[in-house]
Amino acid sequence: MPTSENNQSAAGHGFDALAVVGLGLIGASFAAAVRKAFPDAAVFGVDVDERTNQEAVARGWVTMASTPSDPAFERFVREECQLVVIATPVTAVDDYLKMLANWGYAGVVTDTVSTKAHIVEAASAILPAPQNYIPGHPMTGSEKSGIGAAREDLFKGINWILCPDESTIPESFQKLYELITGVEARVISLAREEHDKAVAIVSHVPHMVASSLMQLANRHADESRALMRLAAGGFKDSTRIAAGSPNLWCGIAFDNAEALRDGLLEMQGIIGKFAEALERGDRAAFTGMLADAADARRALPAAWVPSTEDLLEVRIPMTDRKGVVAEVTTIASSVGCNIQSIEIDHVTESSAVLSLVLTDEGDVGKLFGKLVAAGYSASFSPLTPRVGVNHA
């Protein structure tokens, strides 16, 4: 991974020129992270607010910036751009996809939208090269918004979901993977149809629970707000995200309404069981539920600090089989394996070998079993880090 002492050139990730559309918290932070990691890359920022564009340029987070209607944006897309990152609310996505289509853009497109159902459908219908659209979602954020809350280290150590499918061009996925890991995030592959249900449980439901906790506390606060003065420590940590933009989260909620509704109803049932155990005086059931939650919490992965002394290379033939990258990386993620790097070695015009370098995380035995069950022939071999190479 790049550091301030070990910056990489644009050639390190395959995109010499990229556009970041939407310079809010996520978009501006990503532009800043790319500029720090790959200072030779041309990063064009796009935002409807001209002052935001000016600030992004002044901070050095983009090499140039404009509003969407400025001819400079179209010129950059037509003449230079190799990657477009859409970091806007989902309501603005279609307009930008139509712009790219009207300009004949056939390069790689990704996004940071927290729900995928609409944008996947829209990209397939609108873009001239939908196979070059790779859905993305960085699992990070803040209760604050806008470029004023952005920072260049926002993605360090976080999980960034990518959702390739069988039509995804392997080389495009490889380049995007290298760009994202280059800003010190870790890539998790997830099937597109599973994304919205998964993030409903780990992101959207928690936000609604935090909002509910704040409503509960607010209802019981007296005029002197004494209760609120007691709301320190764990309560403040649990409810921090409730301070997020209501309009933004309303949009997210309704765009993922079915999965969020199901999650909230399930959560309602879980809380109800606690209340029922109290009503029955059932200490054993109550303790059991607390113990189950405590065990699950302790089993969560620690911070991203894997040892890289014992790297493992997995080589998988890709001959005459579509969707290898999507399927293999999704399988690796499902068993907790962290892919440090991806390479595609072309043997002939019609055959290649997918080479993955894994860190010491996850269940390699399960990975091998799932690959075999999926019909892959895979070879595993230790890989010793080369001296002087800066690994994750």
- Sign of the Cα torsion 30, 41, 36, 132 reads positive
- Looking at the structure, do residues 202 and 343 belong to the same domain, yes or no? no
- Mean of the per-residue pLDDT values of the chain: 88
Please say which residue of 147, 170, 190 terminates a domain: 190
- In angstroms, rounded to a whole number, what is the distance separating the alpha carbons of residues 355 and 317? 9
pLDDT band per the 50, 70, 90 thresholds, residue 12: low
Higher-confidence position of 235 and 137:
137
Q: How far apart are the first and last CA of the chain?
A: 5
pLDDT (0 to 100) of residue 235: 84
> In this predicted model, what pLDDT tens digit does every residue of 80-107 receive, in sequence order?
999 999 999 989 999 999 999 999 999 9
- Looking at the structure, do residues 166 and 227 belong to the same domain, yes or no? no
| Selection from 63, 82, 106 nearest residue 14 by Cα | 82
pLDDT average, residue stretch 135-141: 91
How many other C-beta atoms are found inside a 10 Å radius of the C-beta of residue 72? 13
The CATH number given to whatever domain includes residue 283 is 1.10.3660.10
The CATH number given to whatever domain includes residue 163 is 3.40.50.720
On whether residue 390 sits in a domain, the answer given is: no
pLDDT band per the 50, 70, 90 thresholds, residue 306: low
pLDDT band per the 50, 70, 90 thresholds, residue 303: low
pLDDT (0 to 100) of residue 251: 86
- Looking at the structure, do residues 222 and 128 belong to the same domain, yes or no? no
| Selection from 126, 125, 81 nearest residue 107 by Cα | 81
Q: Work out the angle at residue 168's Cα, subtended by the Cα atoms of residues 162 and 171, and round it to the nearest 5 degrees.
A: 90
pLDDT (0 to 100) of residue 383: 75
Whether residue 385 has pLDDT greater than 60: no
Whether residue 365 has pLDDT greater than 50: yes
pTM score: 0.84
- Looking at the structure, do residues 233 and 138 belong to the same domain, yes or no? no
pLDDT (0 to 100) of residue 255: 87
On whether residue 306 sits in a domain, the answer given is: no
pLDDT (0 to 100) of residue 219: 84
Percent of the chain with pLDDT over 70: 91
Higher-confidence position of 318 and 325:
325
In one-letter notation, the amino acid at residue 11 is A
Domain that holds residue 326: 311-383
pLDDT (0 to 100) of residue 223: 62
Whether residue 75 has pLDDT greater than 60: yes
Pair 96, 58: CB distance under 8 Å? no
pLDDT band per the 50, 70, 90 thresholds, residue 61: very high
- Looking at the structure, do residues 120 and 153 belong to the same domain, yes or no? yes
On whether residue 388 sits in a domain, the answer given is: no
- Looking at the structure, do residues 177 and 87 belong to the same domain, yes or no? yes
On whether residue 165 sits in a domain, the answer given is: yes
**Three-state secondary structure along 143-163?**
CCCCHHHCCCCCCCCCEEEEC
- Looking at the structure, do residues 293 and 328 belong to the same domain, yes or no? no
On whether residue 6 sits in a domain, the answer given is: no
Structurally, the chain folds into a number of domains equal to 3
On whether residue 96 sits in a domain, the answer given is: yes
Whether residue 305 has pLDDT greater than 80: no
pLDDT (0 to 100) of residue 309: 67
pLDDT (0 to 100) of residue 7: 44
pLDDT average, residue stretch 20-24: 97
Min mean pLDDT across 30-44, 133-147, 234-248, 378-392 is at 378-392
> In this predicted model, what pLDDT tens digit does every residue of 206-220 receive, in sequence order?
999 999 999 988 888
pLDDT average, residue stretch 180-198: 92
Give strand ranges (E) for the chain: 17-21, 42-46, 64-66, 83-86, 108-111, 133-134, 136-138, 159-162, 186-189, 311-317, 339-348, 351-358, 379-383
Pair 185, 29: CB distance under 8 Å? no
Whether residue 8 has pLDDT greater than 60: no
- Looking at the structure, do residues 117 and 131 belong to the same domain, yes or no? yes
Higher-confidence position of 127 and 310:
127
Pair 160, 138: CB distance under 8 Å? yes
Classify strands 42-46 and 64-66 as parallel, antiparallel or unpaired: parallel
- Looking at the structure, do residues 148 and 26 belong to the same domain, yes or no? yes
- Looking at the structure, do residues 152 and 230 belong to the same domain, yes or no? no
- Looking at the structure, do residues 73 and 222 belong to the same domain, yes or no? no
Whether residue 117 has pLDDT greater than 70: yes
pLDDT band per the 50, 70, 90 thresholds, residue 3: very low
Whether residue 302 has pLDDT greater than 70: no
- Looking at the structure, do residues 121 and 31 belong to the same domain, yes or no? yes
